[in-house]
Amino acid sequence: MGELVAEKRLRYILSIEKKKDSFESVVMEHLRMNGAYWGLTTLDLLGKLDTVDVDEVVSWIISCHHHDGGFAGNVGHDPHILYTLSAVQVLALFNKLHLIDADKVTNYIVSLQNEDGSFSGDIWGEVDTRFSYIAICCLSILRRLDRINVENAVKYIISCKNMDGGFGCTPGGESHAGQIFCCVGALAITGSLDLVDKDLLGWWLCERQVKSGGLNGRPEKLPDVCYSWWVLSSLIMIDRVHWISKG
Amino acid sequence: MAGKIEDESNDRVPLRLRPEWSDVTPIPQNNGPNPVVPINYSEEFSEVMDYFRAVYFANELSSRALSLTAEAISLNAGNYTVWHFRRSLLESLKVDLHVEREFVERVASGNSKNYQIWHHRRWVAEKLGLEARNSELEFTKKILSIDAKHYHAWSHRQWVLQTLGGWEDELNYCSELLAEDIFNNSAWNQRYFVITRSPFLGGIKAMRESEVLYTIEAIISYPENESSWRYLRGLYKDEATLYVNDTQVSSVCLKILRTKSNYLFVLSTLLDLICLGYQPNEDFRDAIEALRTSDNEEQDSDIARTICSILEQVDPIRVNYWVWRKSRLPQAA
pLDDT band at B43 (very low <50, low <70, confident <90, very high): confident
- Round to whole Å and give the CA distance between B126 and B124: 5
- Round to whole Å and give the CA distance between B38 and A172: 49
The whole-angstrom distance between A94's CA and the closest CA on chain B is 21
* Structure confidence at residue A41 (pLDDT): 92
- Round to whole Å and give the CA distance between A131 and A82: 7
Residues 276-315 of chain B with CB under 8 A from chain A are none
Contact assignment for A172 to B193 by CB distance below 8 Å: yes
- pLDDT of residue B181 exceeding 60: yes
Residues 70-99 of chain B with CB under 8 A from chain A are 75-76, 78-81, 84, 87
Per DSSP (E only), the strands in chain B are none
- Round to whole Å and give the CA distance between B20 and B289: 83
Backbone dihedral angles phi then psi of residue B64, each to the nearest 5 degrees = -70, -35
Q: What is the pLDDT of residues B273-288, one digit of tens each?
A: 999 999 999 999 999 9
Q: What is the pLDDT of residues B236-263, one digit of tens each?
A: 998 999 999 999 999 999 999 999 999 9
- Round to whole Å and give the CA distance between B189 and A218: 11
Residue of A nearest to B196 (CA): A172
- pLDDT of residue B173 exceeding 50: yes
CA-nearest of B255, B175, B257, B242 to B215 is: B175
Whether B142 is catalytic is no
- Round to whole Å and give the CA distance between B28 and B96: 32
Q: Are the C-beta atoms of B246 and B236 separated by less than 8 Å?
A: yes
- Round to whole Å and give the CA distance between B18 and B13: 7
* Structure confidence at residue B241 (pLDDT): 96
Question: How many whole angstroms from its chain centre is CA B113?
Answer: 11
Q: What domains can you pick out in chain A, each with its CATH number?
A: 1-96 (no CATH), 101-246 (1.50.10.20)
What value does the mean pLDDT take over residues A177-193?
A: 98
CA atoms within 13 A on the CB side of A158: 15
* Structure confidence at residue A25 (pLDDT): 62
DSSP one-letter code for A52: S
pLDDT more than 90, % of chain A: 74
Q: Are the C-beta atoms of A204 and A231 separated by less than 8 Å?
A: no
Hey, CA dihedral for A243, A181, A231, A206, is it positive or negative? positive
* Structure confidence at residue A27 (pLDDT): 66
pLDDT band at A14 (very low <50, low <70, confident <90, very high): low
Contact assignment for B122 to A29 by CB distance below 8 Å: no
Which region, left, alpha or beta, applies to residue B96 given φ > 0 means left and ψ of -120 to 50 means alpha? Answer: beta
Contact assignment for A218 to B185 by CB distance below 8 Å: yes
Q: Are the C-beta atoms of B299 and B305 separated by less than 8 Å?
A: no
Total Cβ atoms within 10 A of residue A236: 14
Provide the β-strand partners of residue A119: A113
Cα–Cα distances in angstroms (integers) from residue B327 to residues A200, B62, B278, in the given order: 16, 69, 19
The whole-angstrom distance between A90's CA and the closest CA on chain B is 19
Q: Is B119 on the interface with A (CB under 8 A)?
A: yes
pLDDT band at B194 (very low <50, low <70, confident <90, very high): very high
Q: B155 to chain A: which residues are within 8 Å by CB? A: 168-170, 173
pLDDT more than 90, % of chain B: 76
- pLDDT of residue A3 exceeding 60: no
Q: What is the pLDDT of residues B88-132, one digit of tens each?
A: 999 999 999 999 999 998 898 877 788 889 999 999 999 999 999
What value does the mean pLDDT take over residues B189-205?
A: 96
Q: Are the C-beta atoms of B283 and B250 separated by less than 8 Å?
A: no
Hey, CA dihedral for B84, B85, B86, B89, is it positive or negative? positive
What value does the mean pLDDT take over residues A34-60?
A: 90
Q: What is the pLDDT of residues A153-163, one digit of tens each?
A: 999 999 999 99
Which ranges of chain B does DSSP label H, i.e. alpha helix?
40-57, 63-75, 80-93, 97-108, 115-128, 133-146, 151-164, 170-180, 185-197, 203-221, 226-235, 240-245, 247-259, 264-275, 282-289, 303-314, 319-328
- Round to whole Å and give the CA distance between A237 and B146: 36
- Round to whole Å and give the CA distance between A97 and A28: 25
- Round to whole Å and give the CA distance between A139 and A106: 7
Contact assignment for B29 to A75 by CB distance below 8 Å: yes
- pLDDT of residue A233 exceeding 50: yes
* Structure confidence at residue B32 (pLDDT): 42
- The closest CB to that of A172, out of B115, B185, B197, belongs to B197
- Round to whole Å and give the CA distance between A133 and A183: 6
- Round to whole Å and give the CA distance between A54 and A38: 15
Q: What is the pLDDT of residues A106-133, one digit of tens each?
A: 999 999 999 999 999 999 899 999 999 9
Total Cβ atoms within 10 A of residue B253: 23
* Structure confidence at residue B97 (pLDDT): 95
- Round to whole Å and give the CA distance between A80 and A99: 20
Contact assignment for B158 to A162 by CB distance below 8 Å: no
- The closest CB to that of B154, out of A23, A80, A174, belongs to A174
CA atoms within 13 A on the CB side of A114: 18
Q: A76 to chain B: which residues are within 8 Å by CB? A: 29-30, 53, 56-57, 81
The whole-angstrom distance between B109's CA and the closest CA on chain A is 17
Q: CA angle at residue A100 from A71 to A119, to 5 degrees?
A: 40
Average pLDDT, chain B: 90
The whole-angstrom distance between A245's CA and the closest CA on chain B is 5
DSSP one-letter code for A222: -
Cα–Cα distances in angstroms (integers) from residue B214 to residues A103, A147, A170, B218, in the given order: 55, 48, 27, 6
The whole-angstrom distance between B320's CA and the closest CA on chain A is 5
- Round to whole Å and give the CA distance between A169 and B49: 32
- The closest CB to that of B318, out of A122, A170, A245, belongs to A245
Full-model pTM: 0.90
Contact assignment for B324 to A78 by CB distance below 8 Å: no
* Structure confidence at residue B232 (pLDDT): 98
* Structure confidence at residue A9 (pLDDT): 67
* Structure confidence at residue B12 (pLDDT): 82
- Round to whole Å and give the CA distance between B151 and A168: 10
* Structure confidence at residue B42 (pLDDT): 72
DSSP of B241-252: HHHHH-HHHHHH
- Round to whole Å and give the CA distance between B52 and A30: 14
* CA diameter of chain A: 52
Contact assignment for B154 to A21 by CB distance below 8 Å: no
- Round to whole Å and give the CA distance between B5 and B105: 12
